[in-house]
Amino acid sequence: MTANRKTCAVQALAGWVVVGLLATSVAANDTPPLELLKDAQRILFLGDSITAAGQYVGDFDAWLTANQIDRRVIDGGLPSETVSGLSEDGHAGGAFPRPDLFERLDRVLAATRPNLVFACYGINCGIYQPWDAGRFERYQAGMTRLKSRVEAVGSRFVAMTPPFYDDQRAPRPFSYNAVLDRYSDWLVGQRAAGWLVIDLHGPMRNDVLKRRDANPQFTYQPDGVHPNEAGHWFIARQLIAWAGDEKASAAATPAEMLALYDVPAAALPLVQKRVNLLRDAYVAAAGHKRPGVAAGLPVAEAEAQAARLTEQIHALMIREKK
């Protein structure tokens, strides 16, 4: 075989290898969501203040617990954060710019050692300004980079579209929710490229508009951005529906969902306390540049307390079933 033919053969083989790897990557995403959750021993949530609040993460962890899928769920959310690296002039009254996830991402992944990562970004990434192609490209690049970094450490990645922005509650001279429509449409479109994507934005927008037919003042976000208790449960319901549990995702409240599994509502605050405890510890351990975030316990101490909370939760569940 001549040198040229050898080169061509090597190039062809390399091409088939790349195609094969891409096909394998896409095929791997055919794994049912429930199996992904069962296979993951450590689940990390990344996001901005909506995730950092911890409530939808706690609601979802309560569903996992009720289904006896006992996994270490870690909320790594940080208020004000973006994946775009952008910040508006005068953010926080000029006190500090928005944190960039990539300043801390490697440290978070090293500290938490996740097998599965959920990420919800976008509502801050447009920095509450009218549509701009440059900002949109920064969001696209950030989400793509995040996926690559997560997968590089051997973890599975699930993207979540940004929640609804309530223009009625926080009006601007333009519709910021329409900006987020475009961000969300792009992210949902990445399913065709093999991405795992949970759509929060479309269902939340549609639900709010439907409810306003009967109650024009209805909202999940009193300030236009941050969900109330019902709004967090709505987000958690989308995750539960993605996992395939239609009955639980239709429950009106987390307590109603727990009742489907004969789990007392008293378990919910214990689960939430566990989520908050681990969030504070791991976010602090990884470090960040966002002022005003309370430092948590050392990770080892937080993990020990979380283990005791898990024992209390299991004891409640056992007593309820007797």
243's tokens: 């996992």
276: closest CA among 77, 64, 117, 42?
A: 77
* Arithmetic mean of pLDDT over the chain: 91
**pLDDT bucket at 18, cuts 50 / 70 / 90:** very low
Q: What is the dihedral of CA 267, 33, 240, 206, to 10 degrees?
A: 160
Tell me the Ramachandran region of residue 222: left when phi exceeds 0, alpha when psi lies from -120 to 50, beta otherwise. alpha
Q: Is the pLDDT of residue 21 over 90?
A: no
Output the pLDDT for position 6: 34
Output the pLDDT for position 30: 77
CATH number of the domain at 42-321, please? Answer: 3.40.50.1110
Query: Do 117 and 156 contact (CB within 8 A), yes or no?
Result: yes
SS3 of residue 116 by DSSP: strand
Q: List, for residues 82-139, the tens digit of each pLDDT value.
A: 999 999 999 999 999 999 999 999 999 999 999 999 999 999 999 999 999 999 999 9
Q: List, for residues 288-310, the tens digit of each pLDDT value.
A: 999 999 999 999 999 999 999 99
**pLDDT bucket at 44, cuts 50 / 70 / 90:** very high
Please give the Cα distance from 60 to 37 (Å, whole number).
Answer: 11
Q: What is the pTM of this model?
A: 0.90
**For residue 100, which phi and psi values (nearest 5 degrees)?**
-100, 120
303: closest CA among 112, 118, 119, 115?
A: 112
Percentage of the residues of the chain whose pLDDT score is greater than 90: 88
Spans of all domains in the chain: 42-321
Q: Is the pLDDT of residue 78 over 70?
A: yes
Q: Is the pLDDT of residue 12 over 60?
A: no
Q: Where do we find the tokens 């909506």? A: 50
286 sits in which H/E element: helix 267-286
Q: List, for residues 149-206, the tens digit of each pLDDT value.
A: 999 999 999 999 999 999 999 999 999 999 999 999 999 999 999 999 999 999 999 9
